[in-house]
C-alpha cells in the first residue's frame, strides 16, 4: 500500500478555522496600512537568484529554494519582499511620485529548520517608505508597526521594541578598534552571538580571521549581551571611553527623536541588535514578545543603498516585515485570537413550510448585490445567507444548525406566519424574535444586517 502524501516540511494547510485566523490578521495588516496612507503592491513569487545574492546576506542565501528553469535561468522563490521592491523602484523610480509608501502581504519561502515560529512557507506583511531619508520616515514605520499590534489588542506590556543604528554602530566599532574592512563580518558575527554556543562562536570568530584584539572585543560583547542591562558593567566601561562616548551621545539624540509616546518606556537601544540582512545601512529595529519567547515578530530598518545597487538612482528607503506565524503565536498566548469563525452567515433560513422553493427564493434575493455601472462599484452588498441541506422541518433542529453555523439572525418561514403574510425574525444572540411583514421583510432584514457584523 502506498503511504499517504504529506504536506512538505514547514508548510501549512489552511482549513476554514486556520484560514479565518489568517484573514483576521491579513485584514488588520491591510486596514492599518491604508489608514497610514500606504498602498498595496505585489510582485512575482520567484525572482532571479542573483537578486538575492547581491545584498541580502549569507544567511538568507543559504536558505533559498533555488531552481533552474528550462531555459537554464537560475531562479529562487522569494525569501523576502525587499529585493523585489528595490528592483521595482530601481526600474521605475524616476517615474514614481515620492515618497513611495507601499505595503504588501506576500507568501515567503525560506528553507529553515522548521520549529516554533519558524516555517519554510510563511506570510509576511511588508511596509516600506521610499524617498525620505529623515528620521520621520523611520518613526512612521515604527508607529505603523505599533499601531498594528494595538489594533489586535496587544499593549506595550506584551512586546518590546529594540533598535540600533548600523552606521553609528560601525563608527562605534571602528572607535573600539575593529578594522573597517572587518565591519561586514563583525555585523554577521554580532547577529549570531546570542544564537551560538561558546564553541560555535569561537569557531566562527576564527573562520572570519579576526585579530586577537578584535576577538577580545567580540568576546566581551558575547558575554555581556547575555546579562541583564544593569549588569553589563564591562560594556558600559567600554562605551565611556572618548570615541564611543561621542557616538553614544548621537545614539541618545536619536532615541529621543524616534521615541513614540504610545510606546512609553518600551523602546530600547540594543547594542547587540544588528539584524541579519546585509543591506541595512542606518536605523534597524525589532519587535519581540516581552517575555523573550520566540523569534522576533517584526524587524526592519533603513536600506539607503539597495536601490542604487540594483541600478536605480540613489534613493533612501526604510521598512519592516512582520510574519504571520510569530504574530499568531503571540496573539494566541495572550488569548487574543477570535474564538468564533469569521464570516459566519448574516442570515440562516429556517424553512418549515411545505414550499421548498421558498428557501432558494429568499437566499438569492438576500445574497444579491446592487452594482452601479456609473460609479463602477457595488453600492449595496448582498448578505451572507446559509440554510440547511437536511429535509427536516423541525424548527428547533434547524435553529441548532443556525447556531452551530454562528449565524447572526434566523429567518423563519413557517406555515402559520406565511398565511398571515409575515415571517419570523430571530436574533440568534439575544434569542429575541419579532415578526416582519412580507412586503417589507427584505428592506428590514438588510437594515438589521448592515450594522455590527464582522
Q: Measured between alpha carbons, how far is 292 from 233 in angstroms, rounded to an integer?
A: 22
Q: Minimum distance between the CB of residue 254 and ligand HAM, rounded to whole angstroms?
A: 18
Contacts of 390 (CB under 8 A, 6+ apart): 397, 398, 401
Q: Measured between alpha carbons, how far is 321 from 127 in angstroms, rounded to an integer?
A: 7
Contacts of 401 (CB under 8 A, 6+ apart): 348, 388, 390
**C-alpha cell read off for 418:** 406565511
Q: Exactly one of 126, 164, 186, 388 binds ligand HAM (CB under 6 A); which one?
A: 126
Q: Where are the beta strands (DSSP E) in 236-341?
A: 267-269, 283-289, 298-302, 317-323
Element (H, E) at 112: none
Element (H, E) at 387: strand 385-387
If one asks whether residue 110 binds ligand HAM (CB under 6 A), the answer comes out as yes
User: Between the CA of residue 239 and those of 167, 212, 235, 251, 284, what are the distances in Å?
Assistant: 16, 20, 6, 12, 20
Contacts of 402 (CB under 8 A, 6+ apart): 345, 348, 350, 410, 428
Q: Where are the alpha helices (DSSP H) in 36-178?
A: 49-55, 58-62, 82-92, 135-151, 166-176
By beta-carbon proximity to ligand HAM, the closer residue of 54 and 414 is 54
Kindly identify the residues of this chain, within the stretch 385-444, that bind ligand HAM according to CB under 6 A.
none
Residue with smallest beta-carbon separation from ligand HAM: 323
Q: How many alpha carbons lie under 13 Å from residue 228 in its C-beta half-sphere? A: 2
Give the binding range for ligand HAM (CB under 6 A) out of 111-119, 195-203, 231-239, 332-340. 111-119
User: Between the CA of residue 316 and those of 132, 144, 382, what are the distances in Å?
Assistant: 6, 19, 45
Give the binding range for ligand HAM (CB under 6 A) out of 45-53, 118-126, 251-259, 397-405. 118-126
Kindly identify the residues of this chain, within the stretch 128-147, that bind ligand HAM according to CB under 6 A.
128
Kindly identify the residues of this chain, within the stretch 59-88, that bind ligand HAM according to CB under 6 A.
80, 82
If one asks whether residue 331 binds ligand HAM (CB under 6 A), the answer comes out as no
By beta-carbon proximity to ligand HAM, the closer residue of 251 and 322 is 322
If one asks whether residue 319 binds ligand HAM (CB under 6 A), the answer comes out as yes
Give Rg (Cα) of the chain: 28
By beta-carbon proximity to ligand HAM, the closer residue of 108 and 385 is 108
If one asks whether residue 51 binds ligand HAM (CB under 6 A), the answer comes out as no
Q: Exactly one of 321, 402, 407, 428 binds ligand HAM (CB under 6 A); which one?
A: 321
Q: Exactly one of 33, 124, 353, 388 binds ligand HAM (CB under 6 A); which one?
A: 124
If one asks whether residue 296 binds ligand HAM (CB under 6 A), the answer comes out as yes
Q: Minimum distance between the CB of residue 322 and ligand HAM, rounded to whole angstroms?
A: 6
Kindly identify the residues of this chain, within the stretch 231-290, that bind ligand HAM according to CB under 6 A.
277
Q: Minimum distance between the CB of residue 77 and ligand HAM, rounded to whole angstroms?
A: 12
Q: Exactly one of 26, 112, 167, 333 binds ligand HAM (CB under 6 A); which one?
A: 112
Q: Minimum distance between the CB of residue 64 and ligand HAM, rounded to whole angstroms?
A: 12
By beta-carbon proximity to ligand HAM, the closer residue of 82 and 388 is 82
Count of positions on this chain that bind ligand HAM (CB under 6 A): 23
Nearest to 312 by CA among 111, 54, 70, 68: 54
If one asks whether residue 38 binds ligand HAM (CB under 6 A), the answer comes out as no
- Residues within the interface to ligand HAM (CB under 6 A): 80, 82, 110, 112, 118-119, 122, 124, 126, 128, 277, 296-300, 319-323, 325-326
Amino acid at each position: 500500500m502506498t503511504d499517504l502524501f504529506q504536506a512538505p516540511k514547514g508548510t501549512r494547510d489552511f482549513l476554514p478555522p486556520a484560514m479565518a485566523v489568517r484573514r483576521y490578521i491579513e485584514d488588520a495588516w491591510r486596514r492599518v496600512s491604508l489608514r497610514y496612507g500606504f498602498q498595496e503592491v505585489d510582485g512575482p513569487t520567484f525572482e532571479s537568484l542573483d537578486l538575492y545574492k547581491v545584498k541580502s546576506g549569507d544567511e538568507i542565501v543559504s536558505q533559498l529554494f533555488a531552481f533552474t528553469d528550462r531555459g537554464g535561468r537560475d531562479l529562487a522563490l522569494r525569501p523576502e519582499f525587499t529585493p523585489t521592491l528595490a528592483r521595482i523602484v530601481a526600474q521605475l523610480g524616476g517615474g514614481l511620485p515620492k515618497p513611495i509608501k507601499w505595503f504588501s502581504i506576500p507568501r515567503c519561502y525560506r528553507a529553515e529548520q522548521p520549529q516554533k515560529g519558524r516555517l519554510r512557507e510563511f506570510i509576511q506583511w511588508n511596509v516600506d517608505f521610499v524617498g525620505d531619508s529623515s528620521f520621520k520616515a523611520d518613526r512612521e514605520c515604527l508607529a505603523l508597526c505599533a499601531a498594528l499590534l494595538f489594533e489586535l489588542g496587544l499593549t506595550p506590556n506584551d512586546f518590546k521594541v529594540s533598535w540600533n543604528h548600523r552606521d553609528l554602530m560601525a563608527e562605534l566599532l571602528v572607535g573600539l578598534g575593529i578594522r573597517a574592512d572587518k565591519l561586514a563580518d563583525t555585523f554577521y558575527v554580532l547577529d549570531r552571538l546570542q544564537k551560538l554556543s561558546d564553541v560555535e562562536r569561537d569557531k566562527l570568530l576564527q573562520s572570519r580571521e579576526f585579530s586577537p584584539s578584535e576577538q577580545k572585543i567580540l568576546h566581551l560583547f558575547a558575554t555581556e549581551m547575555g546579562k541583564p542591562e544593569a549588569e553589563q558593567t564591562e560594556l558600559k566601561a567600554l562605551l565611556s571611553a572618548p570615541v564611543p562616548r561621542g557616538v553614544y551621545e548621537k545614539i541618545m539624540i536619536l532615541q529621543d527623536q524616534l521615541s513614540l509616546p504610545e510606546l512609553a518606556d518600551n523602546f530600547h537601544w540594543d547594542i547587540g541588535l544588528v539584524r541579519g540582512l546585509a543591506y541595512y545601512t542606518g536605523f534597524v529595529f525589532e519587535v519581540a514578545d516581552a517575555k523573550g519567547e520566540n523569534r522576533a515578530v517584526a524587524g526592519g530598518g533603513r536600506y539607503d543603498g539597495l536601490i542604487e545597487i540594483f541600478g536605480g538612482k540613489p534613493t533612501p528607503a526604510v521598512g519592516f516585515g512582520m510574519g504571520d506565524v510569530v504574530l499568531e503565536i503571540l496573539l494566541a498566548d495572550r488569548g487574543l485570537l477570535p474564538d468564533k469563525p469569521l464570516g459566519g452567515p448574516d442570515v440562516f433560513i429556517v424553512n418549515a413550510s411545505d414550499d421548498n422553493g421558498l428557501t432558494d427564493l429568499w437566499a438569492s434575493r438576500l445574497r444579491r448585490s446592487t452594482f452601479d455601472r456609473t460609479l463602477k462599484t457595488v453600492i449595496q452588498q448582498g448578505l451572507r445567507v446559509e440554510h440547511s441541506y437536511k429535509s427536516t422541518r423541525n424548527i428547533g433542529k434547524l435553529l441548532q444548525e443556525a447556531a452551530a453555523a454562528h449565524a447572526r439572525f434566523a429567518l423563519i418561514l413557517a406555515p402559520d406566519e406565511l398565511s398571515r403574510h409575515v415571517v419570523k425574525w430571530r436574533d440568534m444572540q439575544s434569542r429575541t424574535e419579532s415578526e416582519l411583514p412580507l412586503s417589507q421583510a427584505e428592506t428590514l432584514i438588510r437594515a438589521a444586517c448592515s450594522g455590527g457584523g464582522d
